Structure 1
Amino acid sequence: MSDSEPPRRKTLSLKSPVAAPGGPPPLERMVKPSARATVFTPHAAPPPPPAPAPTGDWKCKPCGTRFDPPTDIPDEDSVRCPSCNARLGLAADFRADPPNVAKLRARWLKKA
């Protein structure tokens, strides 16, 4: 090593859980157990929230997401899936009565 080079620093290693001298202790030693232990009982857990009601009369064929085609776009614009961004067809094909399902990559869902 010549006099013009600065001294090299020590290489830090993440393999050893031992703390560096003068540094904070390892994370495992910093965690303190709580004074009160929490006991999990299956009957005390609240029931999961109900699934949200499905929205939309259409279902994207590529990903299966339900959606409503936008009504505020011109007929020549493409309708895209809100989830996977797949091009599903033209807005005019969705608005046709009956819808032209042969040109669409979406499926109309029957209302029950």
Structure 2
Amino acid sequence: MSATRVRRYENGFSLPEVLCALALFAVIMTVLLSYHRVLLQGFQSQWQMRQLWRLAVELSEPGAPEPPAEWKVIRQQTTAAGCVSIAVNITSPSGRSGQLSQLHCP
């Protein structure tokens, strides 16, 4: 047999190779999308906690502004020996809660 008679049929990928690659791609995309969803939930949770603590710090200052209407806030202020103690219990609309107290002395 001469070299001219041997033909090679390399015209692309075979059907099993394409199906295997497609299945692998689908599995990888499913894993990445679920990982993205978990990361997004974590970032949202962290953002809500930071917002809660930022608002709690603002409300624990003397002369604090009014809290947003959907937030539940209990603010207690006591004065003793020239110092002002402010305690804040705050609950976000999503149900997260925090407690903060600060002592302000001149």
TM class, shorter-length: under 0.3
Decide which structure has greater helix share: 2
Decide which structure has greater strand share: 2
| TM-score normalised by length of structure 1 | 0.26
| TM-score normalised by length of structure 2 | 0.27
